[in-house]
Structure 1
Amino acid sequence: MKARCLCGATQFEVELKNHEVAVCHCSMCRRQTSGPLLSIDIEKMDFTEQQYLSVYSSSEWAERGFCNACGTMLFWRTKDHSFANINVFTLDELPEDLNLNLEIYIDSKPTFYAFNNQTKKMTEAEVIEMFNADKE
C-alpha cells in the first residue's frame, strides 16, 4: 500500500500485518500529534522518497519517523526494527475493513476524551512488559 506525509515529500510503501487499528495515549504521541495516535502494524516499509525523512530517538528502545518538511508523524518502531507501526492516516487509501480494537497507555489518557467502541485496553506497564517479553 502507498503512504505519504502531508506535503508528499516523504513517500513509502508498506505491507500491513492486519487491518487492526490501535490508539496510543502516551504523552509523547499526544504531544507529537496533538491527540492520540491511531496506528496500524506493518510487516515492512520501503521508502520511495526520503530526502526529508527524519528519525527521532524517543526512548532507549524506540524511535519515531517524521517528515522534516511538513512535520507529519509517519511511524513508530523499535530500534532493532523488530516491530513497527505507521500513522494510519498516512495511507493513500484506507482499507474499508479497518477495526479499532486496542488502546495502549490507557493509564495516561486524559479524561476529557473517550472512544465509543469497545477495545482491549493496556496500561503502560503492560505495553513495556509485552515488548520486553519479546526480547527474552
Structure 2
Amino acid sequence: MHNGSCLCGAVRITVQGELPQPNACHCTACRKQSGHFGASVDVPRSALSITGQEHVRWYRSSEKVRRGFCSVCGSTLFWDPVHHDWTAIAMGVFDGPTGTNLSMHIFVAEKGNYYAIKDGLPQNEQ
C-alpha cells in the first residue's frame, strides 16, 4: 500500500498493491501544468482511493484527458484518460519511498530547451 497527499493535505490518496514503474512526460501540457516535466505512475482505478475528493478539481485538457489538481493548494495530482480504467498519479504526491524508478521519457520531441536528458533511459519522441 502507498499513501500520499497534496501539499496542504486536503486530498489524500491510497494505492493498493505495488506501483508499476513511472515515466517522465515532457509534453507541453505536462510542462505547463507542473512547471517542468511530469513524472507519474499509471494505476488501475480500482486500486486508488481518494479522501477529500471534494477538493479535487478537473481540467479537461482534451477530449480524451482530464487533469486533476487540489482546489485548495493547487497541487498537481492526476492525469486521467477518461476512456480507460486507469489513472496516472503524479509521483510527487506519494509520501515516503515508492520502491520505483523512472522507466522512460515520453514526448521528448516537446521537451524544454533549458535541460538535457542524460540518465540513459529510453526516450520516445511521442
Match of 1:94 in 2: 97
* 1:8-31 residue CA offsets vs partner (Å, 9 max, x unmatched): 011121236634121111111111
The reply to whether residue 48 of structure 1 matches residue 51 of structure 2 is yes
| Cα offsets for 1:80-103 (capped at 9, x unmatched) | 2423211111011222x3211211
Given that residues 20 and 43 in structure 2 are in contact (C-alpha distance below 8 angstroms), is that contact kept between their aligned partners in structure 1? no
Aligned to 1:113: 115
User: What runs of 5+ residues in structure 2 fail to find an aligned partner?
Assistant: none
Any idea what SS the aligned residue of 1:51 has?
Answer: helix
What's 1:60 paired with? Answer: 63
Greater relative contact order structure (CA < 8 Å, 6+ sep): 2
Question: Tell me, which stretches of 5 or more residues in structure 1 are unaligned?
Answer: 125-136
> Would you tell me which structure has more strand in proportion to its own residues?
1
Q: CA deviation at 1:116?
A: 2.7
Provide the rounded CA distance (Å) in 2 between the counterparts of 1:16 and 1:99.
Answer: 16
- The 5 Å alignment of 1:1-136 reads 1-15=2-16, 18-43=19-44, 44-95=47-98, 97-124=99-126
Deviations 1:70-124 (A, max 9, x none): 00000101112423211111011222x3211211111001232123311222223
Q: 1:16 to 1:25 in 2, by over 3 A?
A: farther
Q: What one-letter code is carried by the residue in structure 2 that aligns with 1:58?
A: S
**Structure 1 stretch displaced more, 45-54 or 31-40:** 45-54
Poorly superposed stretches of 4+, deviation over 6 Å: none
Alpha carbons 1:101, 1:118 under 8 Å: kept: no
The count of corresponding residues between Structure 1 and Structure 2 is: 123
Give the TM-score normalised by structure 1.
0.82
